[in-house]
Chains A and B, each alone.
Chain A
Amino acid sequence: MDNEQALIQRAQKGDHDAFAALVSEHQGYVYNLALRVVKDENEALDLTQETFVRAWRSLPNFRGQSQFRTWLYRITTNLCYNRLPDLRRSLNDLGDDVMGEIPESNLENPSQKFESKEIKTNLHKAIDDLDANYKLLITLRYQNELSYEEIASTLNLPLGTVKTGLFRAKEKLRLALANYQLEEPWPVS
């Protein structure tokens, strides 16, 4: 982190090498976020490039109130909003009816218990089929590992809306799992 801080400070002074190091470090996550939303490799690559070019231009305005990566994700999601005008509305329309905490899994290593590749593949496909707004929330939470507060700040949404969105995304996955289970019940240990 200290190293990243130093890179950011050097980049703010116009150091291209420092910025190149930051691009190398974060491009994978930015690309992944864009790809999950726009579902097209070329468009996602284009958005990733645009994110870093805009980040370079806005670097003097980065004061370090948020983490660099959440700042980058904010630029990416704003670019996604421009490409998909309905995305912003669909996120706002989620509402905020989930007031409490979303329960997290209590397994220390869930993969040890549920080893069925078929179930996992099926659920990964169900995640792929989710609407862009849910995929955006899931990617920020589970792949980019942001907290609910960081997601809310990145997407400029109320905290309740973020929780509601993630809760509903899980409900959709639960439904997909139930449907799969109806088709092919499996042994439970």
Chain B
Amino acid sequence: MAGFLTPNEQENIIEDALRSYPLANMPRDISQTVMSRIGREPGPRFQITRMDYLLTIVLTLVLGAIILGFQALPPIALLQMRIQGILLWQSFLVNYRWLLPVTSIILGTFLAGIAVHQLLRSQRR
């Protein structure tokens, strides 16, 4: 007797077909091709370049000079610098207070723009 399958039987047949869907045979082994391509490249190691060494030396020297420079200053000069700093900050607060919200808004808009751009780009992919 010819008959139609129940949903459960359909499910089982589909599941069976999905599980038995054959793996395609590789036309050839690619190990050698991959290894010859890799052989031409440097190993995947963590490497420190000369530039990294140079940058480290320069940064160390600059930081060292700043620290030593401050230590070498007489206490009165340090106090004067502190006073000048406070005066500068007060002058900024009085005359250029508007700069803070304006800078925040510009920075926020810029970052939001980057985020939207990235989102649109990932949507397009």
Contact = CB atoms under 8 A, between A and B. Distances in A.
Interface of A: 11-14, 16, 19-20, 23-24, 27-29, 31-32, 35-36, 41, 45, 48-49, 52-53, 56-60, 81, 85, 88-89, 92, 103-107, 110-111, 113-114, 119-120, 123-124, 127, 138, 141-143, 170, 173-174, 177-178, 181, 185-188
Contacts of A103: 11
Contacts of B39: 16
Contacts of A12: 44
A31 B27 CA distance: 10
Interface of B: 1-5, 9-24, 26-31, 33-35, 37-39, 41, 43-46, 123-125
B21 A124 contact: yes
A174 B41 CA distance: 49
By Cβ-Cβ distance, the 6 closest A-B pairs, closest first, are A14-B43, A105-B15, A123-B17, A110-B16, A185-B2, A59-B44
Contact of B17 (A36, A41, A53, A173): A173
A28 B23 contact: yes
Contacts of A45: 26-28, 30
Contacts of A141: 18
B43 to A, nearest CB: 3
A187 B2 contact: yes
A105 B23 contact: no
